[in-house]
Chains A and B, each alone.
Chain A
Amino acid sequence: MVRLEFHDPSGAIEVTQAHAARVAALASKRVGFVSNEQWQAYRMLPLLKGLLEADFPGIEVLPIDAFPQGNAVIGSEETAALVKASGVDAVVIGNAA
């Protein structure tokens, strides 16, 4: 038999931060949207906002434009700070394609 040993070329992935904790339930929670305004987000996110409001008593879903919109700004530290300052319990980010 001929044996060959070689490096795995996919390398390592470094995990430095965990994902945000999930909320236990959505009733009476405050939810925000961060939109890049692309890929029909202007239709899909309002639909999802309405569904959340209909399905969970006491939920407060912020307007879709509560935070800066557009690819250019949604990834910025400023937008992240605004989201944190808003006191939302959860955030939905859309849309990618």
Chain B
Amino acid sequence: MTNAVAGLGLAPDAAMVTFPIEMFLPGSDIGPVRARKQEFYDGLTRWRSSLAGAGAGEPPMLRVEGTSVEDTFARANHLMLANRWGDGLPLWPPTRERVDWILRGTAEARGRRLGTFPPRGGVTTVESCAIALAMAGGRPEYLPVLAAAVEAFLDPESGSETLQAASGSAFPVVIVNGPIGARIRLNAGFGCLGPDPQRPAGASIGRALRLLQQNLGGALPGIGTMANYGGLRHTNVVFAEDEASLPAGWTPHGTERHGFPSGTSSISLAFANGAANIRRRGAKKETPEEDARQGMHRMADFMRVPNMAGLAGYEHGTPGILMIPGVVAQTMVGLGWTKASIREFLWEHSRIPAEALRRAGGPAWIEIDTSKVVRESLVLDPWPITAQPENFVIVVAGGGHPTNSYWLQGYSPGVVGRRIEPPAAFESLLAEAERDLGPA
């Protein structure tokens, strides 16, 4: 990690002595410490920061020239990749014109500061979001969603300061509630976690967030983030809850978790480190009750794992996000289940027997946790994977088909909500989208 100290307000250099990972493993040869002792001594005595100045300076605009549009576009993309600003897919160069167009999606001043992106500490503004969204192929009407997601990401409660750099491959999950989801063509139905030319908003917004994580936050694989796998990081996860399919009596996630009035456009951000499709439906002649109960057991079985990273959200965050199709939620409600009873069932049946936890070395992680609630949970047998049933995030999404549900395993110290604030001229942006993309 060569730049994390910048996130603390220090110059982005520091006196460090670095070694290959092998020396940090159990039973390693630590002789290199002796061999390189002078580097430690120099760090305490002779080292000087190469950056003596203070304050923030805006980088200059970049210029490329080519023999044709195609050549110039390629040169711009090569330049961005060479500077480690890309993700391997084609980027839209964030020209002044393009960024100004994206900025029509907000009433905020372009220079309004949203925070600094950890660990590198890049100053994050509304304009930063527009630049990333332009690179990601986004549109102006996506900007209010991205800005809200960035604000939530930078909220200390999200845990992003640690998760951005950690090895656990956490990726942000952004759940959108309220009317804005459908209006900007954000998917809530079939294939809502993947690309969709009919509903392209999620891929662009998620990719822009990832570009911000990398370009402002410095989360370059193996340099700024030690994420072993970096799963789902091309576009992160951005989808809308399928509110039209909520069973009677179920409140939208943003209302339930964050208290936003129903009908409020909002985002909810959590972090996950895994994703599993669960074959929920039965295969033979199950009664409706058996089908529901067996599916619930199967979901709980997927959750009953020693996800030690999940301890980060044990008390206030979430063990994960369970996505169920609307038709399943409606069927279960018809059978007498409530969201609360579903959570109770999952909490009870995902508990891990103490012996299984012990043989996997779980108690050591629990004992060193910062949370007293986590440490004290060790006496419980079977051990619950989260402090309380309410911590499970359950959302309705995924299309009108009953076979599967989806579990986004949590690595999430908090679940952070933000209202989405579209500009007054939002309707005209949607009309432009209709013109550009055809009917929604």
Contact = CB atoms under 8 A, between A and B. Distances in A.
Contacts of A17: 8-10
Interface of A: 1-19, 22-26, 31, 39-40, 43-44, 47-48, 51-52, 55, 70-73, 90, 92, 95-97
Contacts of A16: 9, 54
Contacts of B37: 48, 51, 55
A73 B85 CA distance: 34
B80 interface: yes
Contact of B95 (A2, A6, A23): A6
B94 A6 contact: yes
Contacts of A96: 1
Interface string B116-139: 110011111100100110010000
B56 A14 contact: yes
Contacts of B41: 26, 52, 55
Contact of A13 (B33, B48, B66, B123): B123
Contact of A48 (B24, B33, B135): B33
11 contacts: A3-B72, A4-B64, A5-B96, A10-B216, A11-B128, A14-B116, A40-B28, A43-B30, A48-B37, A55-B41, A97-B226
A26 B6 contact: no
Interface string B60-85: 11111111110111011000100101
Which of A15, A26, A47, A72 is packed against the most chain B CB atoms within 10 Å? A15
A63 B44 CA distance: 18
B94 A2 contact: no
B227 to A, nearest CB: 13
B23 interface: yes
Contact of B67 (A2, A13, A55): A2
Nearest 4 CB-CB pairings of A with B: A72-B370, A14-B56, A8-B59, A16-B9
A11 B123 contact: yes
Nearest to B27: A40
